RNA sequence: ACAGUCGGACGGUCUGUCGCUGGUGAAUGACUUCAUGCGUGGAGCCAUAUCUCGAGAGGAAAGUCCGGACAGCAUAGAGCAUUCCACUUCCGAAAACAGAAGGAGUCCGCAAGGGUUGAGUCAUGCAGAAGAAAACAACCGCCAGCAUCUACCCCUAACCAUGUAUUUUCGUGGAGAAAGGGAAGGUGGCAGGUAAGGGUGAGAAGGUGAGGUAAGAGCUCACCAGGGAUGUGGCGACACAUUCGCUGUGCAUCUUGGAAGCUGCAAGUUCAUGUAAACUGCCGUUAUCAGGGUUGCUCGUCCGAGGCAGAGGGUAGAACGCUAUAAGUAUGGGCCAUAGGUUCAUGGAGCCAGAGGGUGACUUCUGGUCUAGAUAAAUGACAGACGCUUCCCUUCUCGGGGAGUACGGAAUCCGGCUUAUAGUCCGACUGUUUUU
RNA sequence: GGUCCCUUCGUCUAUCGGUUAGGACGAGAGAUUUUCAUUCUCUAAAGAGCAGUUCGAUUCUGCUAGGGACUA
């Protein structure tokens, strides 16, 4: 096992404006698991199997310090648990764009964030498998 | 001891595991080029699920309230507007400011201290409600004069009573005119004087008291507040003295002096990708005016054959700007009274640039270097220990346990201001109480 | 990041520094009606917060909080 499996480089992040517009514009599937909501979309295979985006609305957490803290917690829990989704995506041979959106008004603990992110990743993986079967 | 004032400094530390950003060196891979004995080797450049090394938020990074650097555009000139500043002197590691320091006036505080600001007001306009009136006047009221009236009061003749006395007369008391005199009063009278009073208000002709007057009035005087002039002191704001009776409050406008070109790193530059030189309406096209530049307007001036508006189409990826090309420490000294910080010098090892030496690893000299540079936006997460504050148990300490450990995250860069901050430290002071 | 703007009854809004802050919709009470609706009458209800300037602040100034627009 390679030591660098829990990583998060720029290639794993979603930063192109077009991709973000299509992710939020069309009717893509979404799940909610407090304190987060996930939106995802399956596209043709590119370099990386999964690309993520984290969004903390300013009108929910006013201070920049709180937003930074929340975003870092999400990044950390995704980094430690991303194998749930990446393995499925590798098998199906497509790229998944997924966005995590904060729907909480206060800063959560690491345990809450980790539970939420794991749940969202599992449900996304299930939906991905189902989507491939229907095809 | 308690309470308080001002100024300044700090604002966690260590270990482990896993990550992020950009960088040095190595390794691997792709491409270009040179050499070639076609096996490869050298150089350049790019990349990374690799390795190594060291770096990575603040005192306010915040608010965006001032000012500057920097960038683009603009800039012959004249006039008029507009905005900002406004007690005074002075200051700088580049400059500027609404900044710092010292000083002045004024208000608050027992005090240490703190807040605040007067450019000018001659002319113009306004001032709700209340009040007679908001400064021009008018009204009520007060007052000497003139006219007129009086049933009231006083004096007096005649008259009555009484006393004295021969009588005239005289004294006392009463009564008393339509005549006379006096005093006082009246009149919705006349023509005047009235900065007292009319109690309301932020403000009522500067305030208080005395004199004065028909009544009053800085009309006069004393004291106090302000202003003008003169003199003295001060660089100055101002202060003090003398003198002049000069004196309502607030706001706006106006006037005076000074300053200001506009936009802001999403400025601006380059590469890549892509589209519509199409459509509709209006104005104009060779001699005067469509339109544009000239900071907001006008004049003037320059350009000028296309311009303006509507409705739409397309891109939004990357690089530069951009964080010096290049590091942290140890010792000693100076400065800020001290805490902490800052600066200078030196030492050895390190890095960068240039020059020189050596076949080469490398080395010598000179100069420099104290470092965040992300871009859907890194600087982190978790665990443990320590430190600090406070509480409880034990109590001489030691020790054990619980709780807390703030405000807040760079976005081109600096100098200020303002606002938010758990806790700690240093210096200079003030007041009260107790003891000596 | 930069440049600007706005906060007034429950909602939408008006206001030249000077009354008891006006209006519409909505709410409540009453009248009309057999009842409901309509209609009519009446009532309650507001200056984002804290300071400053002023005799007096919703209005002017500063700070704080919240909301919005434009800008490659």
User: Does the pLDDT of residue A135 top 60, yes or no?
Assistant: no
DSSP single-letter state for residue A135:
-
Angle, to 10 degrees, between the axis of helix A64-81 and the axis of helix A110-134? 50
Q: Is the CB of A2 under 7 A from strand C?
A: no
Query: Which sign, positive or negative, has the C-alpha torsion A101, A104, A110, A111?
Result: negative
pTM: 0.71
Give the ipTM: 0.77
Q: Is the CB of A83 under 7 A from strand B?
A: no
Query: Sorting pLDDT into bands at 50, 70 and 90, what band is A26?
Result: low
> E strands of A1-132, at which residues?
30-33, 36-43, 50-55, 95-102
Mark residues 61-90 of chain A whose C-beta is closer than 7 A to nucleic acid strand C. 62
The nucleotides of chain C lying under 7 Å from a protein CB are 65-68
Give me the CATH code for the A10-134 domain, please. 3.30.230.10
Considering chain A, what is the average pLDDT of its residues?
A: 78
């Amino acid at each position: 096992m390679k030591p660098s499996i829990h990583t998060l480089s720029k290639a794993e992040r979603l930063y192109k404006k077009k991709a973000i517009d299509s992710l939020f514009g069309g009717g893509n599937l979404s799940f909610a698991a407090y304190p987060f909501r996930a939106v995802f979309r399956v596209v043709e295979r590119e370099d990386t199997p999964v690309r993520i985006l984290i969004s903390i609305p300013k009108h929910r957490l006013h201070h920049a310090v709180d937003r930074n803290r929340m975003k870092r917690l999400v990044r950390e829990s995704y980094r430690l648990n991303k194998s749930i989704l990446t393995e499925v995506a590798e098998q199906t041979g497509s790229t998944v764009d997924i966005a995590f959106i904060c729907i909480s008004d206060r800063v959560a603990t690491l345990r809450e964030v980790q539970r939420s992110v794991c749940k969202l990743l599992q449900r996304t993986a299930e939906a991905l498998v189902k989507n491939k079967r229907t095809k």
